[in-house]
Amino acid sequence: MQIVDEICYERENEGCNRANGGVIEPACSVTYESSVTSDSPRDTDWYHLASLGCGRVRVRVESEFPLQGLVVRGACTGPLEVVRESVILPCATAQFDHTTHPADLFVVSAANGLRPFRSGLPCDQVDPDDPPPDPRDPPFVPGYFGLDYRVVFAPAPPIGDINEDGFVDGVDLTEVLSSWGQGGRADVDGSGSVDGMDLTAVLSNWS
């Protein structure tokens, strides 16, 4: 496991959020553990997906707080396009597969499905350069959620490899045909039903 050692009152790995924000260059199959807060300015972590060196990546995230994961593409000077959004519930795990582009960045921030946090995840460390100015200040009240998350990036199976054995073959074709008109993992394009588009995905990526 790789700990992203960032004190929560600092703002590192901020990508396009600030000039010279820096990004994390992840390696395949390494779990990264870090934290974010929703104090102002909002904390984010940015991961450069091209450093993985694979055409398709599986992003798996577990989080102590409601987490918003964005895949954005483009230059920080603009335009910057959001190409995927995932909202992960607290104390839960989620994953998705993504076909990478050289300009893709995966962004982690605190959010929930309905509205952005304001200060729902306060920093739990005292900045020695900016300590509380008066001992009569109100005591620190921790947020309801924890601050930590973990993310791992791994090569994703080819499109159409339903049983994830590394090949798109007759086993995957059989699963599409036997699941026709239903949901489930044979719904390759995520439309909610196994149909001709999923059959096309299997045949066009035949190993």
Q: Which pLDDT score, from 0 to 100, does residue 32 have?
A: 95
Q: Which pLDDT score, from 0 to 100, does residue 105 have?
A: 95
Q: What is the pTM of this model?
A: 0.82
Choose which CATH entry (2.60.120.380, 1.10.3720.10, 3.10.129.10, 1.20.1250.20) describes domain 2-155: 2.60.120.380
Q: Which pLDDT score, from 0 to 100, does residue 165 have?
A: 86
Contact by Cβ (8 Å): 105, 74: no
Q: Which pLDDT score, from 0 to 100, does residue 172 have?
A: 87
Q: How many CA within 13 A on the CB side of residue 14?
A: 14
Contact by Cβ (8 Å): 77, 47: no
Q: Which pLDDT score, from 0 to 100, does residue 82 have?
A: 95
Q: Which residues contact 41 (CB under 8 A, 6 or more apart)?
A: 11, 17, 18
Torsion of CA 13, 19, 20, 21, to 10 degrees: 0
Pick out the chain residues at pLDDT < 50.
none
Domain ranges for the chain = 2-155, 170-204
Question: What's the length of the chain?
Answer: 207
